[in-house]
Chain A
Amino acid sequence: MKEIIIIGAGVIGCSIARELSRYDAKITVIERENDVACGTTKANSGVVHGGFDAKPGSKKAFYNVRGNAMFDKLSKELDFPFRRNGAYVLCFDDTKWDGLKKLYDQGIANGVRDVKVVTGDEVRQREPYVSEEVKGALWCPSSGIVSPYEMTIAYAENAVANGVEFVFEKNVERLEKDGDKMKVVCEDGEVYTADLVVNAAGLHSDDLNNTICDKKYRIVPRKGEYMLLDKTSGYLTSTTLFQLPTAMGKGILVVPSVHGNILLGPTAVDIEDKECKDTTYDGLAEAFDKARITMPSLTKKTVITQFTGLRAHADAGDFVIGFAADDLPLYNLIGIESPGLTAAPAIAVDASEEIADYLALSFNKKFNPVRKGIPCFATMTESERAEIIKKNPLYGRIVCRCEVVTEGEIVDSINRPVGAKDLDGVKRRTRAGMGRCQSGFCSERVMEIIARERGIDMTEVTKSGKGSEILVGRVE
């Protein structure tokens, strides 16, 4: 059987793993962190873009529009939260109408359906908290929102169900050619051999490519800071609110999350350090102040957390997708920045078909496209709740009171394939600790459950991977 190694377990790596599992091959995903979706995938706006931003003819435009169209079916198949909430691009200046017109034309050229230019009043009719200063907007009804990490987890779980293996906390150092195969050399000295390597290393996809290919790439981490508002502010908007884009990106958004929070951000600053995930005083202030242009009534009162995401911006400008030029069995996915999340499902389909052709893979007859998520107590009806507690009494123990997450869900999140290993892993899968108290009450209970289910000591429980142990010892 042919062996494929995918490096990187973000949305690109995981979606390709799942699509490749439609074929008979031995597929391994190698990830540096202890979980999937730990890089760019976990910290972004969660917008499924309509597709009017990208230049017509670009890969970004092509995959954006195709990817967007796949979300309805995919979200049902893989059971992850997705909503087509529509988006406005707001214009605050009567002299900038041509900016909207340009977006409209791009949208039409890219094949985005139903885009139209509307007046400020039309915007405020739907979203009454939008600024009076808004003169007009582009309306894109096909724009949506998704939980990026839940989508990625769903892909990963379905991949595992179809035979893919994940190796975590393994840092790949370099690639080497080995006859007509590839050698994957890891930092700890371990070496894997594969018939084909998929480079889905996100921010580090340039570095990985550059260890073996003559054609070099460069990724500039583009930092974006966000603020998250409590669900009590969810009424502020149900649609995604962009401002007219700038050279650095799509500007500051006010966007609902699929779980009913409101997200403000991101800023856009090119930096050097690919590991920098700090928020800054100035960055947060900028995110807030600019979001307030869209919605003047915003206050910081309901902010519950802040975070930073890094976009993998390639200096080439467009996505780099395909076999490395140097005639190596290496399939590159470089510079998959926005709209990468939207594009991922379509990229994964094309990439896996190309790879299957290249390796002459046959279909995996046992492939099952359906994945069921963790039953979510918070969104159940009363009778569903009664039923599930009868089946599994642990669903009667509410651990996270803010998000109404039960012990049953937390245990499930730990024990399922590609299960949660630590607090952040549990949080991404169940929302325990995501609420207004930000895990003040439940972190200690979740730690106990993690320790018990994983058979480790409380002092070994981490927040997010090695070196993030939460406790320093026992009380003497």
Chain B
Amino acid sequence: MREMICICCPMGCRLTVDDSDLNNVKVSGNTCPRGEKYGKEEVICPKRMVTSVVRVDGGDVAMLSVKTRDAVEKSKIFDALDALKGVVVKAPVKIGDTVVENAAGTGVDFIATKNVSAR
């Protein structure tokens, strides 16, 4: 049994999710179908986009912002972040450039979210 707040709309319904059987998850407390879907996903395989920064060498800014190309399993967030430690990217960089491939074996790449010109 898990309690959570639905994030689909400002209602913020308090969901109770019965996750004793992952093949038959039961959601209650929701007031619309979106809540049920959200509740199920959150117990079966919650995923999050991860954003952070890495250092840039020779750029017109000090830091490059990055994000995961796709959402990462919630339990792997910190593994993914670890893969950014010590990474230095050479300028120039364009939005969408791959910064770290397959971060910590999550299968997800980190890509640049900022255009950085060379200094």
| Contact B53–A475 (Cβ < 8 Å) | yes
Give residues 82-119 of B contacting A (CB, 8 Å): 85-86
Shortest Cβ distance from residue A460 to the other chain B in the assembled complex, whole angstroms: 17
For the residues of A in contact with B, the DSSP-based class is: loop
Shortest Cβ distance from residue B63 to the other chain A in the assembled complex, whole angstroms: 7
| Contact A475–B63 (Cβ < 8 Å) | yes
Interface size on A, residues (CB 8 A): 2
Residue of A nearest to B81 (CB): A476
The residues of B that contact A476 with a CB separation of less than 8 Å are 85-86
The residues of B that contact A475 with a CB separation of less than 8 Å are 53, 55, 63
The residues of A that contact B55 with a CB separation of less than 8 Å are 475
Shortest Cβ distance from residue A473 to the other chain B in the assembled complex, whole angstroms: 13
Interface size on B, residues (CB 8 A): 5
Contact flags (1/0) for A252-274 with B, using CB distance below 8 Å?
00000000000000000000000
Give residues 62-85 of B contacting A (CB, 8 Å): 63, 85
For the residues of B in contact with A, the DSSP-based class is: strand
Shortest Cβ distance from residue B24 to the other chain A in the assembled complex, whole angstroms: 43
Shortest Cβ distance from residue A251 to the other chain B in the assembled complex, whole angstroms: 51
Give residues 309-359 of A contacting B (CB, 8 Å): none
Contact flags (1/0) for A450-476 with B, using CB distance below 8 Å?
000000000000000000000000011
The residues of A that contact B85 with a CB separation of less than 8 Å are 476
Shortest Cβ distance from residue B26 to the other chain A in the assembled complex, whole angstroms: 43
The residues of A that contact B86 with a CB separation of less than 8 Å are 476
Shortest Cβ distance from residue B61 to the other chain A in the assembled complex, whole angstroms: 13
Give the complex CA separation of A476 and B85 in angstroms. Answer: 6
Give the complex CA separation of A475 and B85 in angstroms. Answer: 9
Give the complex CA separation of A475 and B63 in angstroms. Answer: 9
Give the complex CA separation of A476 and B63 in angstroms. Answer: 11
Contact flags (1/0) for B44-66 with A, using CB distance below 8 Å?
00000000010100000001000
Give the complex CA separation of A476 and B86 in angstroms. Answer: 6
Residue of A nearest to B82 (CB): A476
Give residues 190-230 of A contacting B (CB, 8 Å): none
Give the complex CA separation of A476 and B55 in angstroms. Answer: 8
Residue of A nearest to B85 (CB): A476
Shortest Cβ distance from residue B6 to the other chain A in the assembled complex, whole angstroms: 33
Give residues 131-187 of A contacting B (CB, 8 Å): none
Residue of B nearest to A474 (CB): B55
Give the complex CA separation of A475 and B65 in angstroms. Answer: 12
Shortest Cβ distance from residue B90 to the other chain A in the assembled complex, whole angstroms: 18
The residues of A that contact B63 with a CB separation of less than 8 Å are 475
Give the complex CA separation of A476 and B82 in angstroms. Answer: 10
Give the complex CA separation of A476 and B88 in angstroms. Answer: 10
Give the complex CA separation of A56 and B71 in angstroms. Answer: 79
Give the complex CA separation of A475 and B86 in angstroms. Answer: 9
Give residues 418-476 of A contacting B (CB, 8 Å): 475-476
Residue of A nearest to B63 (CB): A475
A-side interface residues toward B, CB under 8 Å?
475-476
> Could you write out 5 A-B pairs with CB less than 8 Å apart?
A475-B53, A475-B55, A475-B63, A476-B85, A476-B86
